[in-house]
Amino acid sequence: MNEDFKEVKKAVKVQLYPTNEQKILFTKNINHARFVFNKIKESSEHTYKIIKEHNIQPKNIINSRFCNIQLSQLKKSYKFLYESESTSLQASYENYIQSMKNFFQKRAKFPRYKSKRNPVQSFKVKNINNNVRIEHGKIKIAKHGFIRLRGLRKIKGKIQHITITQIANKWFASINYSKAITKPLKKTGKKIGIDVGIKDLAILSTGKKITKLNSAPYEEKITKLQKNLSRKKHSSKNWEKTRKKLTLAHLKLKNARNDYIQKITWKLVKKYDIIVIEDLKISNMMKNHKLAKNIANASWHELKRQLQYKCEWYNKELIIINPHNTSKECNNCGYINKELTLADREWTCPKCANTHDRDINAANNILNRWNNGDSLVTKIS
């Protein structure tokens, strides 16, 4: 393989059109995977509490060996588990192990029980001995047979696993595969600083402002459906129909945002060799209830996530810098305007008399900090 090319992991999402029999099998598999997750959580939680009382490090107990023993015992006690794809049950406890790792590393809260009332249900099947494969434009999954699909792109790599998801009355599959080959993009010699905002999605150091997606039509429909749902009797047939419509409305908005950000990030990665952004603590900012909805709608995290993997794929550099005082610092003379508030969108530097657009000034400071060799810079490439 050419040294310029790179092997990466990729995923493609498709819509499935299962038969009625396959839908029944899918639903069973979802229920069984959820059952295994909850049972292993129940037993491990009990063990976790006992070990913690004796001041022993609990994270050494929640591992594959512990979960394998639990799964074997569950299969002996509950014979119906044999009806589901065995790798999906293994994947279920692997998800639990990962959630516990996230908890111990303080990246997430303690894992909760999975509920059948969740509007999005899923299960994962691992590809072992080619039990998941693409043939004749259909996907073959062991115990489920061939399933019709739409939206499949050519997969150049080895399928690792597939996640089947049910959203309302629709079915989707996320096909994860490795050893996919990507060709680095041509170098342009350009660099850019990016400041994210609420009114505009991204503000570039060139002075260009990228507006966020106009989500008003989607949100109006969601608000209308939420009102209709609140008027229905809980768990009635009409309530369930409206709930499914609401779930699909949320899905459309999510897909529209994702598609919009995919196009923006692709243009940025294609045009610039070095992209510099600020390391915002979004979870902390979401605690401000006045701004939480606008921050969530802006999709800052998704913008950063897509830039990260695309820079890695196409041999570009993503630089993450400390955001402290990027808006308050004059990019011309370095003066810090401590009296600047969120309401001030423009300000004049009292030291050098330069007038700044708050966001463009921040974008320039972000780029300047990398140029000046800021010690708090993190490089991702």
Q: Kindly tell me the sign of the dihedral angle through the C-alpha atoms of 167, 154, 138, 145.
A: negative
Are the CB atoms for 196 and 291 separated by under 8 Å? no
Residue 31 has, within 13 A of its CA and on its CB side, a CA count of 11
Q: Per the structure block, which two tokens stand in for 214?
A: 């106009």
Q: Which helix (H) or strand (E) holds 329?
A: none
Q: Please tell me the predicted confidence (pLDDT) of residue 126.
A: 94
- In the chain, where are the structural domains located? 6-182, 191-380
Give me the pLDDT at residue 58, please: 63
Listing DSSP states for 52-118 in one string gives HHTT--GGGTSSHHHHHHHHHHHHHH-GGGGGS-HHHHHHHHHHHHHHHHHHHTTSSPPPPPP-TT-
Angle between the 237-271 and 216-231 helix axes, to the nearest 10 degrees? 160
DSSP assignment string, 243-273? HHHHHHHHHHHHHHHHHHHHHHHHHHHHH-S
Give how far Cα 15 sits from Cα of 123, 142, 194, 347, Å. Answer: 15, 18, 34, 50
169 closest CA partner among 16, 30, 29, 32: 16
Residue 198 has what pLDDT?
82
Neighbours of 287 (CB within 10 A): 9
Cβ atoms of 250 and 222 within 8 Å: the answer is yes
Q: Rounded CA gap, 57 and 46, in Å?
A: 15
Which architecture characterizes domain 191-380 according to CATH?
2-Layer Sandwich (3.30)
Tell me the CA distances in angstroms from 68 to 87, 126, 223, one per residue in order.
12, 16, 45
Asked if 193 and 364 touch (Cβ cutoff 8 Å), the reply is yes
pLDDT given at position 82: 93
Place of tokens 């990019």: 331
With a cut of 70, list the residues of the chain below it in pLDDT: 1-4, 56-61, 282-292, 374-381
CA distances from residue 38 to 113, 131, 231, 310, 314 in whole angstroms, order as listed: 6, 26, 33, 36, 40
